A and B are shown apart, each in its own frame.
Chain A
Amino acid sequence: MANMVKNSHRRPKHYKTLLVNFFGLPREVLLDLPRLVMLGNSRMVVENHRGLLEYTEETVRIKTAHNGEIRVTGKGLNLLYMVKEELGLAGRFLRIDLPEGEE
């Protein structure tokens, strides 16, 4: 029974991946993946985020779907704007850690 529950939990994601691969649909929409757009090492736009975990001038941690986290380390970081689906980040980026295990 426990095995069945586990399978039923996995199945939709599996089907979504198949669907995305088969029809060539945008992955970030169907799979809830964050989308990052970077301009050099000074501007970044993060779409499909789930909020902020930490915000200082040196570190910004952004929550993503499936309990993931994007960690941006740098100098003089500040948020240019923030709305429900998107946020803009500026500063001098030194390191970006991306969430593990996403397809």
Chain B
Amino acid sequence: MYRWLLDFYHGYLVVMAQGKRLEAFLNSAVGKGIYLWGIRRPAPGRLLFRVRGKDFFLLRSAFRRCGCRGKILYRSGLPFILRRLLRNKGRWLGLVFFITTIQVIASFVWVVGVAVEDGELPGHLQIREELREIGVRPGVLRGRIKKEHERILEELTVAFPEAAWINVELRGVVVLVTMVGKTPPPAKEEGPADIVAAKEGLISELIVLEGTPLAKAGDMVSRGDLLILGEKVLPSREGGFITQPVRAEGIVRARVWYEKRSEEPLEIWRPVRSNRQAVVFSLRCRERLFPFFRRGKVSGKVLWERQTKSICRGRNQVSLVELVKDIYSEVSWMKVRISPEEALARARREAARELSFLLPEAATIKSRREEWETGGDFLVYLLVVETLEDIAQPAASTREKQEDGYDQSHSQGQDQEKTPEDGAWQAVCI
């Protein structure tokens, strides 16, 4: 390795010697202290060897003395490569022009990207207009953006007070402005309200923060049943009790069961691809698609697949340019009979998908049970999932609904005499 590097650094020649006394030539050359290597005899009367560039002229006398002729076949090494490069001035000029052009092009901002996240912020057009006024627009020097970064941020903050966080990032020739709007806390609803059951379930825990509980742990409740009444019982000055309407608050954890029953057909229509397909390669620049290569032709029903590949991802993080490959495959629909295992997998997948919409995020799955059986051309699948979740849901006070002029001076005894027709009581009558 070291020897090879040294030879490359000094430069060497591949020489072919022709003559009868080639051994004598070699002895003579070596006798002069010349280093020869890679010596081969490709044919009788011919000798190929390598010699340092500067030693070639010393071989002349050896050639003459032994009656041989030498011919340089190939020049290799750094000095020769450099000489070849230096000789071609057009190439150097082209290289200098290319580097200068790249440098000049890369010193400007070409794209201004705006990303708005959350909150109520003005539209992209308004933000872009403001950025243009501040001086952030395509064609501005990158150095200027770097230099005036603080000023730009300050002016944007003043222009958009509704933004909680603003960032101006320079990624190559792209300026990316990110804005996050202020998200106001949810307005606290006021006025008296009850807590009702959002779903049918078995109460396992009930924590009352405000109001009067009408259910207890172990109760089975249906959807809409009253759980916490929006009333508070207080002692009155005159003796006795008064009830005061309040906004009921509390946590009602209950065991809820979800049941999904489906029939999955064992015979289904499935697209079968034929060998005919068409491939179209396109280049996407921002929103525009430029097809540049097409292969094959299809007709009838086709299946369309798209594969994309971002070009120069390092400098192209917002994916302005993309290579797109569209594959159109000719298909014919065929009725096929699938195995019960495959039908079960499909049913499971579908059930899981539907369940993901039904289950609240905070729900904890306690158990799941599934049953299936095949009969005829169908697979019957049943999935039962038991969860533990908060089923408390605020609802307008039942009192307010029934009585416009609600009398606040009801005693506790009077409350207990309410009729079952009152919706508030039906919840506990399970």
Chain A positions within 8 Å of B, measured between CB atoms, are 51-57, 78-84
Bound together, the chains give a CA A56 to CA B35 distance in angstroms of 20
Whole-angstrom distance from the CB of B36 to the nearest CB of chain A?
Answer: 5
Q: Using Cβ atoms and an 8 Å threshold, which residues of chain B touch A78? A: 39-41
Whole-angstrom distance from the CB of B56 to the nearest CB of chain A?
Answer: 16
A53, A57, A80, A83: the one within 8 Å of B23 (CB):
A53
A53, A54, A55, A84: the one within 8 Å of B31 (CB):
A84
B30 within 8 A of A: yes
A55, A80, A84: the one within 8 Å of B33 (CB):
A84
Bound together, the chains give a CA A57 to CA B48 distance in angstroms of 13
- The closest CB in chain B to the CB of A88 belongs to B37
> Which 10 interchain pairs have the tightest Cβ spacing?
A51-B27, A79-B39, A81-B37, A52-B23, A78-B40, A82-B36, A82-B30, A55-B23, A84-B30, A52-B26
Q: Using Cβ atoms and an 8 Å threshold, which residues of chain A touch B40? A: 78-79
Q: Is the CB of B26 within 8 A of A55?
A: yes
Q: Using Cβ atoms and an 8 Å threshold, which residues of chain A touch B22? A: 55
B23, B33, B36, B47: the one within 8 Å of A54 (CB):
B23
Q: Is the CB of A57 within 8 A of B37?
A: no
Whole-angstrom distance from the CB of A78 to the nearest CB of chain B?
Answer: 5
Bound together, the chains give a CA A69 to CA B14 distance in angstroms of 29
- The closest CB in chain B to the CB of A54 belongs to B23
- The closest CB in chain A to the CB of B25 belongs to A52
B27, B30, B38, B41: the one within 8 Å of A56 (CB):
B41
Chain B at the A interface: mostly helix, strand, loop or mixed? mixed
**Can you list 16 residue pairs at the A/B interface with Cβ under 8 Å?**
A51-B23, A51-B27, A51-B30, A54-B23, A55-B22, A55-B41, A55-B47, A78-B39, A78-B41, A79-B36, A79-B39, A80-B38, A81-B37, A82-B26, A83-B30, A83-B33
Q: Is the CB of B27 within 8 A of A52?
A: yes
Whole-angstrom distance from the CB of B31 to the nearest CB of chain A?
Answer: 7
New contact pairs (7) apart from A56-B41, A82-B26, A83-B33, CB-CB < 8 Å: A51-B23, A52-B26, A54-B23, A55-B23, A78-B40, A81-B38, A83-B30
Asked, given contacts A51-B27, A82-B26, whether A57 binds B41 with beta carbons under 8 Å apart, the answer is yes
Q: Using Cβ atoms and an 8 Å threshold, which residues of chain B touch A82? A: 26, 30, 36-37, 39
- The closest CB in chain B to the CB of A85 belongs to B30
Whole-angstrom distance from the CB of B302 to the nearest CB of chain A?
Answer: 61
Please provide the chain B residues from 14 to 58 with a CB less than 8 Å away from any CB of chain A in the complex: 22-23, 26-27, 30-31, 33, 35-41, 44, 47
Q: Using Cβ atoms and an 8 Å threshold, which residues of chain A touch B38? A: 80-81
Whole-angstrom distance from the CB of A37 to the nearest CB of chain B?
Answer: 17
- The closest CB in chain A to the CB of B27 belongs to A51
Please provide the chain B residues from 106 to 125 with a CB less than 8 Å away from any CB of chain A in the complex: none
Q: Using Cβ atoms and an 8 Å threshold, which residues of chain A touch B39? A: 55, 78-82
- The closest CB in chain A to the CB of B23 belongs to A52
Q: Using Cβ atoms and an 8 Å threshold, which residues of chain A touch B23? A: 51-55
**Among the interface residues B27, B31, B36, which one has the most CB atoms of the partner chain A within 10 A?**
B27
Whole-angstrom distance from the CB of A91 to the nearest CB of chain B?
Answer: 11
Whole-angstrom distance from the CB of B74 to the nearest CB of chain A?
Answer: 18
Bound together, the chains give a CA A79 to CA B27 distance in angstroms of 13
Bound together, the chains give a CA A84 to CA B40 distance in angstroms of 18
Bound together, the chains give a CA A84 to CA B32 distance in angstroms of 8
- The closest CB in chain A to the CB of B28 belongs to A51
Bound together, the chains give a CA A51 to CA B24 distance in angstroms of 8
Q: Using Cβ atoms and an 8 Å threshold, which residues of chain B touch A83? A: 30, 33, 35-36
Q: Using Cβ atoms and an 8 Å threshold, which residues of chain B touch A81? A: 35-39
**Among the interface residues B23, B31, B36, which one has the most CB atoms of the partner chain A within 10 A?**
B23
Whole-angstrom distance from the CB of B406 to the nearest CB of chain A?
Answer: 109
Bound together, the chains give a CA A83 to CA B41 distance in angstroms of 18
Bound together, the chains give a CA A75 to CA B218 distance in angstroms of 98
- The closest CB in chain B to the CB of A81 belongs to B37
Q: Using Cβ atoms and an 8 Å threshold, which residues of chain B touch A57? A: 41
Bound together, the chains give a CA A57 to CA B46 distance in angstroms of 12
Bound together, the chains give a CA A83 to CA B33 distance in angstroms of 7
Bound together, the chains give a CA A57 to CA B42 distance in angstroms of 9
**Among the interface residues A51, A56, A82, A83, which one has the most CB atoms of the partner chain B within 10 A?**
A82
Whole-angstrom distance from the CB of A88 to the nearest CB of chain B?
Answer: 8
